């Protein structure tokens, strides 16, 4: 008989739990009170506190360790379709604060600098608060990783904002405009001109603007012939919107039921015996699905 599982929370932990339970044949209901941390994070996928580990690796003069991914984690990431999490290595991400930092994986809209060597990375100027291409280029070029790899970041004039309101709208709204294939083609033309104007480059770094429903960076890169991607920002990145879209698609694909509400309490088995709670599906459902009180 299929077991019924109630998953509380629809962040990445709840999603992974729901996915895993469905793989084992359980009936799954996911209940969530709304936005959590996953929907606020910037798209870097970490497995360790990166600053401490990087500092230790630098002190020891060794490479950053990146353990092999468990097959289930690999499968989960593949089915989510949102993240690039290399099997046995990490990625290198530029932040809007001018750091180059390691991560175990990334939302596919983020630019991975890890494979670049002795090349220039273009940063288009854009009149938006929190996007200062000149300062960013200077700070990133000065990063130890960039110096070791011979990476130079170059601010360039490329009109990546199309309408006046794009100076002020939120990153998520600008990202959503690039879900439109026509708008993405418009951006592609501007980036192509920027590449030609600069006499070529190894990559292009943009703000967090490349898609709200899905990452659009790889489509641009495929047509431009060089990697293109976003820098990581703090809270409020469109990476959260992309996660929510990918999560909803995955939960629908695996046939998990969804409920919205805040669980106030989860009733245990009154006799304290888990086996009694599991004894029959109807008993289990009655206790578990009714006992959470939602508002
Ligand atoms: C601004 C920011 C930046 C971050 N940057 C990074 C980063 O660069 N790299 C990285 O690896 N991590 C980062 N993190 C951390 C990472 O996002 C979290 O560790 C991860 O998303 C936690 O996932 P989760 O599923 O455990 O929790 P959440 O994503 O918070 O999900 C919890 C879920 O539970 C639901 N919930 C909670 N209580 C109840 C209840 N009583 N009833 C019903 N539902 C409930 C919430 O509504 C939500 O859906 C960042 C986090 C933030 C906020």
| Atom number, ligand 1, closest to the C-alpha of residue 234 | 1
Rounded alpha-carbon distances, angstroms, from residue 120 to 109, 154, 195, 232: 19, 7, 11, 19
Give residue-wise pLDDT tens across range 235-267: 889 999 999 999 999 999 999 999 999 999 887
* pLDDT tens by residue, 35-94: 999 999 999 999 878 778 778 877 887 777 677 888 999 999 999 999 999 887 889 999
Q: What is the mean predicted confidence (pLDDT) over 229-235?
A: 93
The residues near 244 (Cβ < 8 Å, ≥ 6 apart) are 39
User: pTM for the full model?
Assistant: 0.90
> Quick one: pLDDT at residue 268?
64
38 lines ligand 1 (CB under 6 A): yes
Cα(96) to centroid of ligand 1, in Å? 22
Cβ atoms of 146 and 153 within 8 Å: the answer is: yes
| Average pLDDT for 159-169 | 96
* Centroid of ligand 1 to alpha carbon of 286 (angstroms): 29
Kindly state the DSSP code that residue 122 receives in the 8-state scheme.
Answer: E
Kindly state the average pLDDT of the residues 12-33: 97
């Amino acid at each position: 008989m299929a077991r019924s599982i109630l998953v509380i929370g629809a962040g990445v932990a709840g999603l992974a739990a729901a996915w895993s339970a469905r793989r084992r044949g359980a009936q799954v209901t996911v209940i969530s009170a709304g936005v959590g941390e996953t929907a606020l994070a910037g798209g870097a996928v970490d497995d360790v506190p990166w600053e401490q580990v990087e500092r230790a690796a630098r002190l020891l003069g060794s490479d950053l360790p990146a353990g092999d991914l468990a097959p289930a984690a690999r499968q989960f990431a593949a089915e989510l379709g949102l993240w690039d999490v290399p099997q046995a290595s990490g990625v290198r991400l530029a932040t809007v604060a001018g750091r180059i930092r390691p991560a175990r994986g990334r939302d596919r809209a983020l630019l991975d600098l890890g494979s670049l060597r002795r090349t220039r990375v273009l940063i288009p100027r854009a009149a938006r608060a929190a996007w200062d291409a000149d300062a960013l280029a200077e700070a990133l070029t000065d990063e130890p990783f960039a110096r070791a790899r011979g990476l130079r970041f170059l601010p360039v004039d490329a009109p990546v904002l199309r309408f006046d309101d794009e100076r002020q709208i939120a990153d998520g709204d600008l990202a959503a405009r690039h879900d439109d294939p026509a708008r993405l083609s418009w951006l592609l033309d501007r980036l192509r001109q920027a590449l030609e104007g600069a006499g070529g480059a190894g990559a292009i770094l943009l703000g967090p603007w490349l898609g709200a429903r899905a990452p659009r960076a790889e489509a641009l890169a495929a047509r431009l012939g060089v990697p293109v991607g976003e820098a990581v920002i703090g809270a409020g990145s469109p990476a959260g919107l992309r996660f929510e879209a990918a999560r909803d698609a995955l939960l629908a694909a695996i046939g998990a039921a969804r409920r919205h509400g805040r669980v106030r309490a989860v009733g245990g088995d009154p006799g304290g015996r888990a086996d009694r709670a599991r004894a029959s599906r109807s008993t289990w459902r009655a206790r578990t699905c009714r006992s959470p009180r939602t508002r």
